[in-house]
Amino acid sequence: MKHYLSVKDIDSLPNWVSEARKLKEDPAAHKSLGEGKTICLLFFNNSLRTRLSTQKAAMNLGMEVMVMNFGAEGWQLEFEDGAVMNRGKSEHIKEAAKVVSQFCDIVAIRAFASLTDKEKDEAEIVLNGFVKYASIPVVNMESSTAHPLQALADAITMDEQNSQARPKVVLSWAPHPKALPHAVANSFVEMMQLQDADFVITHPEGYELNPEITKDAAIEYDEEKALENADFVYVKNWSSYSNYGKVLSQDSDWMMTKEKLGKAKFMHCLPVRRNVVVEDAVLDGKQSLVIEQANNRTFAAQVVLKKILES
Ligand code: CP
């Protein structure tokens, strides 16, 4: 495998999940695989889980890790071909990506959506800039439109927790005071398309995700109806896609409560705003899987890095 950019790079989800679960049982089993190899983690945005879990995964494989908060500490990058760089941007992606490639064997990038320019966000200029100009494999640590490491960790968590032949899984929008990207929801939808499940997306009207991603996924605007007999409820806020990046509703009726959750397991990628997105009783209760999802980020990253190192 050359790069891990989206859920579409997973050739067999059951095999990857099974391999990740084996790594979880014995994280140091392949410690010599990454010996003498280095990964650079470049962050254009904040992180807790992605940073620590990807670092941990690389260390479990015997790799050296270099981390840079590129957004705060790096030169401001220019991505446009032929740009006259007489303004704020000091370095072109052409040089930056080639320079980074000399210092490490894999580069992992976090670069969120601007939520102001749909065309630019969908072009994934930062991630694809590194793919185009770096000479080493690139891993997506959450880009404008995708968070495939999170989706893989979610698949591992569901596999561990599932007791049904065909579970009912609901992706439920929740309110949030800020405009958030679509990346987590997009990758969760794509991951569900690889699973045998009764999958339903529920959100207020106007919050439809990119139809090229949701394809024929069931959408139910009545949350109560969508949640009936759910086994897993994945709660996430995202901003409007059609009215790009706008917050159209902060309706607190969409906050997940213990009552609405019923007997389902609760999932969220974290970080989460308590008593806005989900009430305390859910997060503090036994049905919440959020801490295990975060734990599984290590083994999701480890299976990805292992496959890259092996190829
Ligand atoms: N879920 C997730 O990606 O967490 P961080 O933003 O803290 O990395």
269 lines ligand 1 (CB under 6 A): yes
Amino acid at position 261, single letter: L
Q: Which of 50, 55, 141 to mutate to test the pocket of ligand 1 (most atoms within 8 A of CB)?
A: 50
**Both tokens assigned to 245:** 């990046």
Cα 40 to Cα 70: distance, rounded to the nearest angstrom: 11
Cα 26 to Cα 91: distance, rounded to the nearest angstrom: 42
pLDDT tens figures, 109-136? 999 999 999 999 999 999 999 999 999 9
Across the range 36-46, mean pLDDT stands at 98
pLDDT tens figures, 59-96? 999 999 999 999 899 999 999 999 999 999 999 999 99
Rg of the chain taking only CA atoms, in angstroms: 19
Handedness of CA 277, 271, 4, 164 (dihedral sign): negative
Q: Ligand 1 centre and the CA of 81: distance in Å?
A: 31
124 lines ligand 1 (CB under 6 A): no
Question: In whole angstroms, how far apart are CA 46 and each of 49, 68, 111?
Answer: 10, 11, 9
110 lines ligand 1 (CB under 6 A): no
What values do phi and psi take at 276, rounded to 5? -125, -55
50 lines ligand 1 (CB under 6 A): yes
pLDDT tens figures, 178-212? 999 999 999 999 999 999 999 999 999 999 999 99
Of ligand 1's atoms, which has the minimum distance to the CA of residue 147? 3
Across the range 30-46, mean pLDDT stands at 98
Where do the domains of the chain lie, and which CATH numbers do they carry? 7-146+297-310 (3.40.50.1370), 148-293 (3.40.50.1370)
**Both tokens assigned to 165:** 């032949």
Cα 195 to Cα 217: distance, rounded to the nearest angstrom: 12
270 lines ligand 1 (CB under 6 A): yes
- Please list the residues that pair with 202 across neighbouring strands: 172
Amino acid at position 299, single letter: F
Question: In whole angstroms, how far apart are CA 239 and each of 170, 202, 244?
Answer: 18, 14, 7
Cα 56 to Cα 111: distance, rounded to the nearest angstrom: 20
The per-residue pLDDT for 1 is 85
Which has the closest alpha carbon to 141: 12, 44, 268, 38? 44
45 lines ligand 1 (CB under 6 A): no
Region of residue 124 (phi > 0: left; psi between -120 and 50: alpha; otherwise: beta): left
Q: Which of the four pLDDT bands, split at 50, 70 and 90, describes residue 141?
A: very high
